[in-house]
Amino acid sequence: QKRIFSGIQPTSIPHVGNYFGAVKSWVDLQNDQKENIILSIVDLHSITVPQNPARLQQQIEESLICLIASGIDPNRTVLFQQSKVNGHASLSWILGCLCTIPQLEHLPQWKEKSELVKESRLGIFTYPVLQAADILLYKATHVPVGEDQVKHIELTRHLAKAFNRTYLNIFPSPQTILGKHKRIKSLRNPANKMSKSEADSKGKIDICDSAEEIVQKVKKAVTDSNSAITYDPIERPGISNLIEIMSAVTDTEPNRIVENSAGLDTVQFKSRVSEAVVEYFRPIRKRFIELREDRSYLHKVLKDGEEKAQKIADETMHEVRNAVGLNVY
Ligand code: TYM
């Protein structure tokens, strides 16, 4: 049986990259295929970098609101907070005992992040093992994510295989599902992906940004000196990224966008893009504002999700403990 699992860090409101790279595909999978989907707000991952406790609490709620506002239906999809479910951290430890240091050292996110600080913390290093535990705890068969997570799912498959070989064959080998818009770039630095930790907040559009914020950010988006609208992600990453965003919000192929933009210059095209982005996210932003007021509903959603997730996690952990030899009575 197919089981889909994915996660999102509550480090800020999801941006357009998170939305088109992941959240939108979760909503589509939920709606089209009536799949069994489990989604986690991965708060334990977010504390691998310093967080303000009061702010983190708020961000967990805001992430939940964004997922529901985007179309995740808590009656059909299990939606829960990672740290509330027992099993993520303990399975992570057990998998960590099967994981080698070189397997983690070569991962691109570790390389990038460890270069930025003098003394890296352990959590950042072992982060992908916790991610593997998230996926395997639910015996997920499919993981819909953006391109930056592909290596982490690969590691998950290695660790599942290592566990199955060492102890008992209990874990499926999870497949990555990549969407059409798997890598939206930063508006300020189109060589890089759009990221929650952008140094310049104008590099990312959050899905609940106001119309004015969206217009300003698109206006300031870095493009090149050529004012023609052509799609060439390698040679012209800035304008191509705007075409990609336009393609996502209008569900139109990039080439068609280029055809429809004949004769426009960059300034005119940018104003079309921001208009389309504002329109696309208008209803989501509206639901976000409404839902924010209904805290008892939000807390009920988290509590229900936690119960459903815990039930599955308990079953897997029972099998895991048996397999490893940890169940004495
Ligand atoms: P996170 O919170 O950074 O991102 C959530 C999802 O958004 C995708 N994404 C993007 N897609 C396209 N363009 C972008 N610029 C862009 N930026 C982010 C990510 O690929 C991701 O799918 N480690 C994960 C969270 C996680 C997880 C898991 C995911 C923890 N455990 C288990 C899947 C399964 C992360 O940091 O995602």
Distances (CA, A) of 314 to 88, 157, 241, 307, 311: 10, 21, 43, 10, 5
Do residue 219 and residue 172 come from a single domain? no
188 in any annotated domain: no
Nearest-atom index, ligand 1, CA of 182? 12
Do residue 243 and residue 100 come from a single domain? no
- CATH no. for residue 222? 1.10.240.10
Mind telling me the catalytic residues? 113, 193, 196
- CATH no. for residue 149? 3.40.50.620
Do residue 264 and residue 317 come from a single domain? no
- Residue 3 phi/psi, 5-degree rounding, is -135, 125
193 in any annotated domain: no
Do residue 226 and residue 300 come from a single domain? no
Structural domain total, the chain: 2
Mutate to test the pocket of ligand 1, among 15, 18, 67 (most ligand atoms within 8 A of CB): 18
Reported pTM:
0.96
Query: What confidence score (pLDDT) does residue 80 get?
Result: 98
Query: What confidence score (pLDDT) does residue 255 get?
Result: 97
22: CA distance to ligand 1 center in Å?
Answer: 7
Q: Is the minimum distance from the CB of 193 to ligand 1 under 6 angstroms?
A: yes
Query: What confidence score (pLDDT) does residue 262 get?
Result: 93
Do residue 282 and residue 301 come from a single domain? no
Length of the chain measured in residues: 329
57 in any annotated domain: yes
Mutate to test the pocket of ligand 1, among 145, 181, 193 (most ligand atoms within 8 A of CB): 145
Q: Is the minimum distance from the CB of 148 to ligand 1 under 6 angstroms?
A: yes
128 in any annotated domain: yes
Q: Which residues pair with 15 in a beta bridge?
A: 206
The percent of the chain in helix, strand and coil, each rounded to the nearest 5, is 60, 10, 35
**Whether 135 contacts 5, CB under 8 Å:** yes
89 in any annotated domain: yes
132: CA distance to ligand 1 center in Å?
Answer: 13
Do residue 226 and residue 107 come from a single domain? no
Pairing of strands 175-178, 142-145: parallel
10 in any annotated domain: yes
Do residue 168 and residue 226 come from a single domain? no
Residue ranges of the chain with per-residue pLDDT less than 70: none
Domain that holds residue 43: 4-183+295-324
Query: What confidence score (pLDDT) does residue 32 get?
Result: 87
> Tens of pLDDT along 56-79?
999 999 999 999 999 999 999 999
Q: Is the minimum distance from the CB of 8 to ligand 1 under 6 angstroms?
A: yes
Q: Is the minimum distance from the CB of 46 to ligand 1 under 6 angstroms?
A: no
199 in any annotated domain: no
Strand extents, DSSP E, 20-129:
37-41, 78-81
**Whether 145 contacts 176, CB under 8 Å:** yes
Do residue 164 and residue 50 come from a single domain? yes
Do residue 21 and residue 101 come from a single domain? yes
Do residue 63 and residue 135 come from a single domain? yes
Q: Is the minimum distance from the CB of 25 to ligand 1 under 6 angstroms?
A: no
